Amino acid sequence: MYKWIMGAVLAVGLSGAAWAQGSEIEDVISSQIEAFKVDDFAEAFTYAAPSIQGMFRTPENFGRMVTQGYPMVWRPADVTYLDLRDEAGRYVQVVRIEDTQGTVHFLGYSMIQTAEGWKISGVQVLEAPGVSA
């Protein structure tokens, strides 16, 4: 009985920690999307991981990539956070984004923890759930 109670307490504690982590990750993604909505590419750039910042070098280059390659992120009509996955030690937040034309996109946001908090280290367009090749 004692082992069962300790196991339940541990499981609840771990799920609470995972929930807090997921909440922090969602906040970072939401903050970046809000910055995109008002074309504040300098602010949006602060949520990118150092590797992404190094790749694009300036907020203007980063903004150009987003507006041209990820218009659904730049001007979303609706954003819904789905599951947070641990994929071989890296966290991927799955996000459902509906664009202004009503098309639904599923994106995987790769996240890393830095000394400054969670940062976005990449975004990948995913296949819609239930769709197979």
Domain extent, residue 88, equals: 2-126
Q: Does residue 16 lie in a domain region?
A: yes
Q: Does residue 133 lie in a domain region?
A: no
Q: Does residue 131 lie in a domain region?
A: no
Tens of pLDDT along 30-64? 999 999 999 999 999 999 999 999 999 999 999 99
The count of structural domains within the chain is 1
Q: Is the distance from CB of 108 to CB of 35 less than 8 angstroms? A: no
Q: Does residue 85 lie in a domain region?
A: yes
* Assessment of whether the complete model's pTM goes beyond 0.85: no
Residues of the chain below pLDDT 70: 1-21, 130-133
Q: Does residue 65 lie in a domain region?
A: yes
The CATH number of the domain holding residue 80 is 3.10.450.50
Contacts of residue 91, defined as CB under 8 A and 6 or more positions apart, other chains included, come to 21, 25, 84, 85, 110, 111, 112
